Amino acid sequence: MSDIGGVRRLHGWLTGVREAIPLLGGYIPVAISFGLISAQAGFSTAETLAISALIYAGASQFLFVGMIASGSPLWLTVAMTLLINVRHVVYAPNIAPWLPKSRWWPWLMHGLTDQIFALAHSRLPQLSESQRVGWFFGAAMLAWLSWIAGSLLGAVAGEWLTSRWPLLGEVMPFALPALFLVLIVPRFTSRRWAAALSVSVAAALVCTLVGLTNIGIPLAAACGALCFYMVRLPETLGTDKGTTKERRPS
Amino acid sequence: MSLELWIGMLIAAVGTYLIRLLPLLWMQRRLTRSGENGPVDALPKWLVILGPMMIAAVLGVSLVPRTADAAGWLATLIGLGVTLAIWWRTRSLGWPVMGGVLTFGVVVIVARSLM
């Protein structure tokens, strides 16, 4: 029995690693940029790696090194870093119903980034309980290690890499919108959901275009949720009636 | 980094970790209390709505190309179309992403050479 359990956990782990591979297209180029900017801001390679390994939150890391380099007060830098990451508070409760009992979850929460949440929110309900811890461990660990490796590469050879293959840094990040599109499309189950999700996408896009990337995610999600509650459209795309208990929006 | 800066970085790291961890502990307690009603019922409705909205928002933020010129936007549009078409046929995760990235790259190169 324990052998079967072990095989399932290993299978879950490998599935998690395999399904997180598309994330690397977005993680590594951004991590290289972070490593490069951190080095240019005067941080050593070891310090850059420590920031990437311990804070592990893209946008807030850029803000952290940028504010320190520009001479901002430390308390303000820390406060702004945490403020940007506040959006993460809704992630764990959303996937909690799909997390079987395990002492590993508190530790694994370090890996709950925007991207891992999006992947886990879609995939965990489809996996068997015995595979979920392994799946999350595999996916989160691959993403975390790729982020650290990318930061190292950026700190050591960022300038050389970006000058030699400038197009690669532009093309690979498209893996992220492609992945998120694939994760979100199955949720267009009714006109109501389609309208709310479209509002959320459009609001986030506008926020990014006007330079409000960090506040853009929670703000756009709130706009989408508001649309969901306020707009009543005929349910013609599917049978989903909104927040029915038997069909969680997944 | 000075000692002061290391401490500041560690506070930011621990704070970020707690932002991810504490809501999980809160939700797990709520789930334990909800008992036989099932896990999905224990989720507040606003949270059920907000989860997919956050993913949609992350998609919106990531749509802006690194180089936001005409070629970048054209490649984004066509890349998303191809991603969607491959997903429609395969209903898988990896192939649509791979096809989308390849298409994005080809369109960027072709469009830049023509412009």
Is A215 a domain residue? yes
Cβ–Cβ contact B46 with A under 8 A:
yes
Query: Do A199 and A139 share a structural domain?
Result: no
Query: Would you call A167 and B105 a contact, using CB atoms and an 8 Å cutoff?
Result: yes
Cβ–Cβ contact B83 with A under 8 A:
yes
Is A179 a domain residue? no
Domain housing A100: 2-173
Q: What is the pLDDT of residue B39?
A: 58
Is A180 a domain residue? no
Question: Which of A140, A173, A206 is the last residue in one of the domains?
Answer: A173
pLDDT beyond 70 at A52: yes
Query: Would you call B61 and A248 a contact, using CB atoms and an 8 Å cutoff?
Result: no
Closest CA of chain B from A160, distance in Å? 19
Q: What is the pLDDT of residue A249?
A: 37
Structure token pair of residue A179: 């992945």
Q: At what angle do helices A175-184 and B94-114 cross, to 10 degrees?
A: 130
For chain B (length 115 residues), average pLDDT per consecutive 10?
92 96 92 68 78 87 90 96 94 84 94 87
Q: Closest Cα to residue A119, out of B75, B47, B51? A: B51
Is A182 a domain residue? no
Name the residue in chain A with its Cα closest to that of B80.
A178
Question: Which of A138, A173, A208 is the last residue in one of the domains?
Answer: A173
DSSP A1: -
Question: Which of A116, A147, A173 is the last residue in one of the domains?
Answer: A173
Query: Do A19 and A116 share a structural domain?
Result: yes
Query: Would you call B43 and A177 a contact, using CB atoms and an 8 Å cutoff?
Result: no
Query: Do A144 and A198 share a structural domain?
Result: no
Q: How far is CA A235 from CA B12, B13, B45, B72, in A?
A: 45, 44, 19, 36
ipTM of the shown complex: 0.84
